[in-house]
Chains A and B, each alone.
Chain A
């Protein structure tokens, strides 16, 4: 007899809290910036909170959910009743989130994502903590009972910890990833809103502080042959370095807070990542939703013998008429020691064995093409130097030329691809090295491309399209292949994709 469950009694507080949160910063800005004069209409605007709080209370009171045999049924609303059916088999993902307030009251915010059916997503704000476990168990039990091939006694699969990150590693991750800019950007935005931006900019570019009109003086020195403000340039350089340093520290602290206690577990077909110091997140990544996996290694990674792993995960979005992807780029492992990498990959993508990959290079004449592009690029870049510095510009141009050559060489040397039994691999980049793995079952379409330059050199490129690739994602797009090789790779990938079936 399916019994009905309700949301936690304090739910409406969290609903209202969510709305308040959106109003807090603009509210503060208004109060601080407006002064005492124009506060009347703002106060009236704020009082609109009250009716919306009442609505939230009603919504929460009317929320009910129950576990039927094959689906989860959620009903809400007093006046307009809405009933949602989420079949267990179609539940793709269950995520949970807890900020400080949630943790104090031992509640959790749950989000369920499904594929197929009319409703893509159901958010339950907030449930008592044990309810989360119950939902997970019920959904999983419901899922496996609808699949006849799964053994009946395998109700709860064992949980296997794949990765656990200590605070020290998180600090390292923060240092490498450098999200400091994001926070600095937010701080700048706030300064702007509060009208303090002008004052700070004055300090740097104006006459107010010890950095008196520094930028102007430097320009004068360079273009008009005036005196070089050496002392101030050094001072500014120090400030610049200090700012960079500060940003890195910010990024490290941010990483520690956001990812504290990072733990990646595998339970059956799902990967679960738990992390967070203040806001605890339990993110679910079903293995079959992983479309591509990218291993990233920058210079600091190499120094510390670590790598970072990202996945493109996508599930079907049920909205009719859309081609259907709900996309997430997730950090599977923000930082992982190189020694642990093979085991982790084996647990996540058992079909692939990275240690046995036979990397194949691109066409031998690729270097010639890359260096030509480099030459053009660096020539254009050195024009301003020549016009300003005359013969002194050689100091800049000669090293630049060396760098261009070395860069082209290294870039071509680090381009590689491989066709495994079950996946295609591609790597590129020498300073920041990235390797992407795309399983054949996840290939959506294959493209053989020839630019006019390709045609002249008898080369071609092969691109693999997958679901949910972000704009900045590293993709399997192999350039500078010989025409014949490209044709073969194209044929083979098309065949493999046709032969395998795609499952969201």
Chain B
């Protein structure tokens, strides 16, 4: 929200300056206000409406073989990482996530495209439980 407010304010200043310096012709100036309204509405939508939708389409399935993470509304992708391919796992918490008791699971594989597979928006305890469950049991570090 703060980001939206700041950006929107910045855009407002930009629009005002453009109006004052008279760089655009009359019809251009008339469009400035609607354009700013539109952009601000867009930013607000991105901050408020989009995240819940995105979260609704994010899910995971954990079993003995590995973990399967589904994400994306437009471009849906289901990624399966077998247990034997997990290199190591991080549990990340940004400041905001910390205050809400949330965490993010990051699974590292040896792959190129999916060398990091992220699962955001987890309860912190759940994230740790997942991590412990997925870490390779015993050391079979084959060389």
Contact = CB atoms under 8 A, between A and B. Distances in A.
A278 interface: no
Contacts of A93: none
A85 to B, nearest CB: 15
A490 B80 contact: yes
Contacts of A448: 77-80
Given A323-B109, A447-B77, A497-B85, 18 more contacts: A323-B108, A323-B110, A324-B87, A324-B110, A444-B81, A444-B85, A444-B111, A445-B80, A445-B85, A445-B114, A446-B80, A447-B78, A449-B75, A449-B76, A466-B111, A469-B111, A504-B110, A504-B143
Name, among B83, B85, B115, B117, the residue most crowded by chain A CB atoms within 10 Å (CB to CB): B85
B82 interface: yes
Name, among B76, B82, B87, B108, the residue most crowded by chain A CB atoms within 10 Å (CB to CB): B82
Interface string B100-123: 000000001111111111000000
Interface of B: 65-66, 68, 74-85, 87-88, 108-117, 140-143
Closest 5 CB pairs of A and B: A444-B111, A465-B111, A498-B82, A498-B65, A494-B80
Contact of B111 (A89, A445, A494, A495): A445
Contact of A116 (B84, B113, B143): B143
Given A466-B111, A502-B110, A452 B84 contact: no
27 contacts: A89-B143, A314-B110, A324-B87, A444-B81, A444-B114, A445-B79, A445-B109, A445-B117, A447-B114, A448-B80, A450-B76, A451-B74, A465-B109, A467-B111, A490-B78, A494-B66, A494-B82, A495-B65, A497-B84, A497-B85, A498-B82, A498-B83, A500-B84, A501-B142, A502-B142, A503-B143, A504-B142
A180 interface: no
B72 to A, nearest CB: 8
A178 interface: no
Interface in A447-504: 447-452, 455, 463, 465-469, 490, 494-495, 497-498, 500-504
B89 to A, nearest CB: 11
A116 B141 contact: yes
Interface in A417-458: 443-452, 455
Nearest to A451: B75
Nearest to B90: A321
Given A89-B143, A323-B116, A498-B65, A447 B110 contact: no
A90 interface: yes
Contacts of B83: 498
Nearest to B113: A465
A494 B108 CA distance: 17
A325 interface: yes
B143 A498 contact: no
Contacts of A500: 84
A325 B77 contact: no
A142 interface: no
Contacts of A334: none
Contact of B81 (A445, A466, A495): A445
Contacts of B88: 323
A115 interface: yes
B84 A449 contact: no
Nearest to A87: B143
Contacts of A495: 65
Name, among A116, A314, A494, the residue most crowded by chain B CB atoms within 10 Å (CB to CB): A494
Nearest to A450: B76
A314 B111 CA distance: 10
Contacts of B140: 501
A324 B112 CA distance: 10
Nearest to B78: A448
A100 B137 CA distance: 52
Name, among A468, A490, A498, A500, the residue most crowded by chain B CB atoms within 10 Å (CB to CB): A498
A444 B109 contact: yes
A501 B110 CA distance: 13
Contacts of B82: 445, 494, 497-498
A325 B115 CA distance: 10
A503 B110 CA distance: 11
Contacts of B81: 444-445
A504 B143 CA distance: 6
B60 to A, nearest CB: 14
Contact of A465 (B74, B78, B114, B143): B114
Given A445-B80, A447-B78, A502 B85 contact: yes
B64 to A, nearest CB: 9
A115 B143 contact: yes
A324 B87 CA distance: 9
A498 to B, nearest CB: 4
Interface in A73-103: 89-90
A503 B142 contact: yes
Contacts of B74: 451-452
A297 to B, nearest CB: 24
A501 B140 CA distance: 10
Name, among B83, B88, B111, B117, the residue most crowded by chain A CB atoms within 10 Å (CB to CB): B111
Contact of A501 (B77, B78, B84, B115): B84
